[in-house]
């Protein structure tokens, strides 16, 4: 019941905050990774255990392993070292985390989440901490601290909203990433991250879809486009010498509402005659390695450039996905590049040079489509989206990690007539997370997801009541998977869609039959009063 989750107590913690005892309650945590997945990935300490167990069966040398891992990372990552040192506890970040807002748990304040790690850093890596201990906020690394890390570093979606408000730019998401890396070293990780990662390593995508099944799914989508438009379309897979490799999250071809986004891409590519190919191995843009460690991120990402090289394309176009773009934009070219076998991307339709992608050689589909619209290359009938009253959720990674703020809005306003923004402090750089990113989008921790998603849902509720909004558009596969549940719980009556689903509805394709239904198979409804 929403009323129950709304009774959020924001009060001072009982006793000393350094007391690390955590209550593991079902609904608030994710379950441990199955040993077969840890083994497949070649990660240490696979074993049967669960967070509820008193004995986590930690390896005998667990403490030494964690401290050595911490030392290595303090030497390797300047940002980690800096973030361990510079927080002045001003509190500007304290109420900015959606998990704190939704749970009232003080250890979900970004400053305190980071302090869980800093206190150990002080004890083992600073002179004052070694000499003065608790007096300077240092504490011993104990099994209870490990359990507390697991609890709170898997209650952070790495959304980076807190960092927007920190005067020092401290990025708590990076501290969370370090926490998860250290936990990985002793085999304390979650199945919702490790199983998709293992599948990805084996077949290229999260669900373990093999090449023939991938081809069937894509053909099914092509047939569906033909049913809707009357136009037979071809979707090339593994075609060597194509100009562009298109990479999307696998959810686009096996989940809804993502699937309608895929239909939109295919319609667009057919209409503009794009010379492109899909890859049956780079069949996943998403990268759950990001929710585990830099090393795993790198391993899972490697297939993107490898496939681009094998297929001899000129550049890469990427679909609607959040963390895929965090990796593409912030890590890919330094982790697995330089991709100097590719060319700086140029739109074959408009001639636009995507200077922002000069290094990665990868362009976001919203940049690509916005450029087409800007140059008048698409015929669009906005009235075909009249049944929707749309608002836009800035997915955390595209907005905060790559600054993709205007292009999705430009596309949306070009393809629908009813668009309303949520309040300014809940969108763009300040967007609130869905509450289910970073590998937390399972049902095991549903209570925590609903709590963490509450601030986002609250802003949607505002525009629903004020403007009658009934559709939440977004450009992230995890959002599309988890926001429907969030909406159903907090704001019933609001559906979720990708930007390119709405583009596909509005796109007037050369030679198409008269459309009577939208991509969901629902009858097209126009608002007669505003018909253009």
Q: Is 425 in the site for ligand SF4 (CB under 6 A)?
A: no
Indicate the residue among 93 and 138 with the shorter CB distance to ligand SF4.
Answer: 93
Indicate the residue among 331 and 388 with the shorter CB distance to ligand SF4.
Answer: 331
Cβ-contact 170, 96 below 8 angstroms:
no
Q: Is 166 in the site for ligand SF4 (CB under 6 A)?
A: yes
463 upstream amide cis, omega within 30 of 0: no
Q: Is 99 in the site for ligand SF4 (CB under 6 A)?
A: yes
Candidates 51-59, 94-102, 177-185, 362-370 — which segment interacts with ligand SF4 by CB under 6 A? Answer: 94-102
Task: Work out how close the CB of 6 gets to ligand SF4 at its nearest, in angstroms, rounded to a whole number.
Answer: 20
Cβ-contact 4, 166 below 8 angstroms:
no
Site for ligand SF4 in 176-195 (CB under 6 A): 176
Spatial distance between the Cα atoms of 72 and 50, rounded to a whole number of angstroms: 28
Count of residues in contact with ligand SF4, rule CB under 6 A: 27
Residue 13 neighbours by CB distance under 10 Å: 11
Task: Work out how close the CB of 73 gets to ligand SF4 at its nearest, in angstroms, rounded to a whole number.
Answer: 18
**C-alpha of 406 from chain center:** 19
Q: Is 435 in the site for ligand SF4 (CB under 6 A)?
A: no
Spatial distance between the Cα atoms of 348 and 351, rounded to a whole number of angstroms: 6
Tokens 């490697």 -> residue: 302
Structure tokens at 84: 């361990």
Task: Give the per-residue contact string, 49-88, with ligand SF4 (x = CB under 6 A; - = no).
Answer: --------------------------------------xx
For residue 244, the cross-strand partners are 276, 315
- Dihedrals phi, psi of 380, to nearest 5 degrees: -125, 135
Tokens 């092509």 -> residue: 222
Q: Is 473 in the site for ligand SF4 (CB under 6 A)?
A: no
Candidates 9-17, 159-167, 313-321, 398-406 — which segment interacts with ligand SF4 by CB under 6 A? Answer: 159-167
Q: Is 110 in the site for ligand SF4 (CB under 6 A)?
A: yes
Residues constituting the chain = 532
Site for ligand SF4 in 324-353 (CB under 6 A): none
Among 107, 113, 122, 123, binds ligand SF4 (CB under 6 A): 113
Cβ-contact 504, 268 below 8 angstroms:
yes
Among 33, 66, 117, 159, binds ligand SF4 (CB under 6 A): 159
Indicate the residue among 175 and 475 with the shorter CB distance to ligand SF4.
Answer: 175
Q: Is 46 in the site for ligand SF4 (CB under 6 A)?
A: no
Among 84, 101, 162, 469, binds ligand SF4 (CB under 6 A): 162
Task: Give the per-residue contact string, 277-316, with ligand SF4 (x = CB under 6 A; - = no).
Answer: ----------------------------------------
Spatial distance between the Cα atoms of 103 and 291, rounded to a whole number of angstroms: 22
Site for ligand SF4 in 208-267 (CB under 6 A): none
Helix (H, G, I), strand (E, B) or coil at 419: strand
Task: Work out how close the CB of 68 gets to ligand SF4 at its nearest, in angstroms, rounded to a whole number.
Answer: 26
Candidates 167-175, 212-220, 315-323, 338-346 — which segment interacts with ligand SF4 by CB under 6 A? Answer: 167-175
Q: Is 160 in the site for ligand SF4 (CB under 6 A)?
A: yes
Q: Is 173 in the site for ligand SF4 (CB under 6 A)?
A: yes
Structure tokens at 479: 């959002």
**C-alpha of 292 from chain center:** 13
Structure tokens at 210: 């093999």
Q: Is 170 in the site for ligand SF4 (CB under 6 A)?
A: yes
Structure tokens at 282: 């780079």
Structure tokens at 300: 């899972």
Spatial distance between the Cα atoms of 472 and 523, rounded to a whole number of angstroms: 20
Strand ranges (E), 370-470: 390-392
Indicate the residue among 116 and 519 with the shorter CB distance to ligand SF4.
Answer: 116
Indicate the residue among 165 and 490 with the shorter CB distance to ligand SF4.
Answer: 165
For residue 364, what is the DSSP state? E
Helix extents (H) in 52-190: 62-76, 78-85, 98-103, 110-125, 127-132, 143-153, 161-165, 172-185
Site residues, ligand SF4 (CB under 6 A): 87-93, 96-97, 99, 110-111, 113, 156-162, 166, 168, 170, 172-173, 176, 433
């Amino acid at each position: 019941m929403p009323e129950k989750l709304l009774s959020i107590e924001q009060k001072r913690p009982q006793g000393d905050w350094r007391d690390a005892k955590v209550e593991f309650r079902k609904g608030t945590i994710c379950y441990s990774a199955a040993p077969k997945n840890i083994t497949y990935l070649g990660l240490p300490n696979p074993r049967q255990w669960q967070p509820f167990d008193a004995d986590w069966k930690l390896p005998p040398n667990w403490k030494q392993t964690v401290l050595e891992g911490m030392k290595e990372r303090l030497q390797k990552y300047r940002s980690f070292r800096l973030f361990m040192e510079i927080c002045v506890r001003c509190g500007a970040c304290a109420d900015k985390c959606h998990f704190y807002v939704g749970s009232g748990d003080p250890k979900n304040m970004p400053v305190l989440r980071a302090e869980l790690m800093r206190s150990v850093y002080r004890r083992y890596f600073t002179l004052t901490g070694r000499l003065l201990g608790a007096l300077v906020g240092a504490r011993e690394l104990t099994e209870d601290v490990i359990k507390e890390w697991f609890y709170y570093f898997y209650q952070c979606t790495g959304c980076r909203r807190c960092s927007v408000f920190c005067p020092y730019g401290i990025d708590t998401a990076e501290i969370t990433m370090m926490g998860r890396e250290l936990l990985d070293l002793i085999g304390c990780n979650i199945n919702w991250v490790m199983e998709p990662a293992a599948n990805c390593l084996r077949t290229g995508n999260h669900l373990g879809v093999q090449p023939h099944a991938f081809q069937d799914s894509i053909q099914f989508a092509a047939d569906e486009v033909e049913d809707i438009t009357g136009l037979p379309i071809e979707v090339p897979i593994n075609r060597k010498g194509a100009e562009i490799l298109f990479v999307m999250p696998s959810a686009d071809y096996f989940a809804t509402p993502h699937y309608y986004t895929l239909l939109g891409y295919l319609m667009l590519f057919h209409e503009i005659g794009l010379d492109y190919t899909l890859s049956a191995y780079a069949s996943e843009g998403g990268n759950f390695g990001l929710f585990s460690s830099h090393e795993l991120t790198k391993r899972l990402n490697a297939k993107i450039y490898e496939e681009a090289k094998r297929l001899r394309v000129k550049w890469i176009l990427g679909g609607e996905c959040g963390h895929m773009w965090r990796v593409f934009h912030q890590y890919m070219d330094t982790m697995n590049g330089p991709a100097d076998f590719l060319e700086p991307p140029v739109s074959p339709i408009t001639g636009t040079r995507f200077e922002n992608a000069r290094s990665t050689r990868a362009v976001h589909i919203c940049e690509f489509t916005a450029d087409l619209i800007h140059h008048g290359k698409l015929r669009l009938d906005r009235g075909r989206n009249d049944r929707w009253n749309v608002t836009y959720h800035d997915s955390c990674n595209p907005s905060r990690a790559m600054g993709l703020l205007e292009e999705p809005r430009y596309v949306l306003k070009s393809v629908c007539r009813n668009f309303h923004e949520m309040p300014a402090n809940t969108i763009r750089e300040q967007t609130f997370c869905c509450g289910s990113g970073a590998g937390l989008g399972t049902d095991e921790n549903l209570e925590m997801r609903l709590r963490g998603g509450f601030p986002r849902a609250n802003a949607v509720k505002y525009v629903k009541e004020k403007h009658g909004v009934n559709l939440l558009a977004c450009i992230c596969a995890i959002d599309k998977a988890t926001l429907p549940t969030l909406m159903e719980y907090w704001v019933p009556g609001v559906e979720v869609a990708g930007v390119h689903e709405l583009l596909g509805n509005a796109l007037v394709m050369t030679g198409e039959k008269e459309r009577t239904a939208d991509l969901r198979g629902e009858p097209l409804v126009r608002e007669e009063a505003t018909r253009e």
